[in-house]
Amino acid sequence: MLEIHDLHVSVGGAEILKGLSLNVAAGEVHAVMGPNGSGKSTLSYVLAGRPGYDVTAGTVRYKGRDLLAMAPEERAAAGVFLAFQYPVELPGVSGATFLRTALNAVRKARGEKDLDAMQFLKAVRERLRSLSMTEETLKRALNVGFSGGEKKRNEMLQMALLEPDLAVLDETDSGLDIDALKLVADGVNALRAPGRAMLVITHYQRLLSHIVPDRVHVLARGRIQRSGGKELALELEARGYAEFGHAA
Amino acid sequence: MALDAGTVAAVDALAERYKYGFVTDIEQETAPKGLNEDIIRFISAKKAEPEWLLAWRLKAYRHWLEMRDPKWARVKHPPIDFQDAYYYAAPKTKEGPKSLDEVDPELLRTYEKLGIPLHEHEILAGVAVDAVFDSVSVATTFKKKLEEVGVIFCAISEAVQKHPELVRRYLGTVVPYSDNFYATLNSAVFTDGSFVYLPKGVRCPMELSTYFRINAAKTGQFERTLIIADAGAHVSYLEGCTAPMRDENQLHAAVVELVALDDAEIKYSTVQNWYPGDAEGRGGIYNFVTKRGACRGRHSKISWTQVETGSAITWKYPSCILQGEGSSGAFYSIAIVNNRQQADTGTKMLHIGRNTRSTIVSKGISAGRGQNTYRGLVRMQGGAENARNHTRCDSLLIGGACGAHTVPYIESKNPTARVEHEATTARIGEDQLFYCRQRGLDEEQAVSLIVNGFCKEVLQELPMEFAVEAQKLVALSLEGSVG
Ligand SMILES: Nc1ncnc2c1ncn2[C@@H]1O[C@H](COP(=O)(O)OP(=O)(O)OP(=O)(O)O)[C@@H](O)[C@H]1O
Ligand SMILES: [Mg+2]
Q: Which residues have CB under 8 Å from B390's CB, separation 6+? A: B358, B359, B360, B420
Give the integer Cα–Cα distance in Å for B462 and B439: 29
Cβ of A70 under 8 Å from any chain B Cβ? no
**Could you read off the pLDDT of B391-443 as tens digits, one per residue?**
999 999 988 888 899 999 999 999 999 999 999 998 888 999 999 999 999 99
A39 lines ligand 1 (CB under 6 A): yes
Contact in structure between B433 and B445 (CB atoms under 8 Å):
no
What residues of chain B lie within 8 A of the CB of A52, using their CB? 1, 430
Q: How far is CA A125 from each of CA A135, B119, B172, B477, rounded to the nearest angstrom?
A: 8, 42, 57, 35
Contact in structure between B433 and A77 (CB atoms under 8 Å):
no
Cβ of B424 under 8 Å from any chain A Cβ? no
Contact in structure between B202 and B236 (CB atoms under 8 Å):
no
Q: Ligand 1, atom 10: nearest CA belongs to which residue?
A: A11
Q: Which atom of ligand 1 is nearest to the CA of A248?
A: 29
pLDDT tens string, chain B, 483 residues long: the values are 333 333 333 333 333 355 555 555 656 667 778 888 988 998 899 889 999 999 999 999 999 999 988 888 888 888 888 888 778 776 555 455 555 566 666 666 665 655 555 555 444 445 566 666 655 555 566 777 888 999 998 889 899 999 999 999 999 999 999 999 999 999 999 988 889 999 999 999 888 888 766 655 566 678 899 999 999 999 999 887 665 666 677 788 899 999 999 999 999 998 888 777 777 878 888 888 999 999 999 999 999 999 988 888 888 999 999 999 999 999 999 999 888 888 899 999 999 999 999 999 999 999 888 899 999 999 999 999 999 999 999 999 988 888 899 999 999 999 999 999 999 998 888 999 999 999 999 998 999 899 999 999 999 898 876 777 788 778 777 776 764
pTM, two decimals, is 0.84
CA angle, B373 then B375 then B379, to 5°:
170
Q: Tell me the pairing of strands A14-24 and B207-213.
A: unpaired
Residue A11 Cα to ligand 1 midpoint, Å, equals 8
| DSSP letter, residue B82 | T
Q: How far is CA A142 from each of CA A99, B386, B442, rounded to the nearest angstrom?
A: 9, 37, 18
Residue A225 Cα to ligand 2 midpoint, Å, equals 17
Identity of the residue numbered B369: R
Residue B310, φ and ψ in degrees, nearest 5: -100, -160
Overall size of chain A counted in residues: 248
| DSSP letter, residue A54 | E
Give the integer Cα–Cα distance in Å for B110 and A221: 67
Give the integer Cα–Cα distance in Å for B193 and B99: 18
Shortest CA distance to B181 belongs to which of B79, B93, B89?
A: B79
Residue A98 Cα to ligand 1 midpoint, Å, equals 28
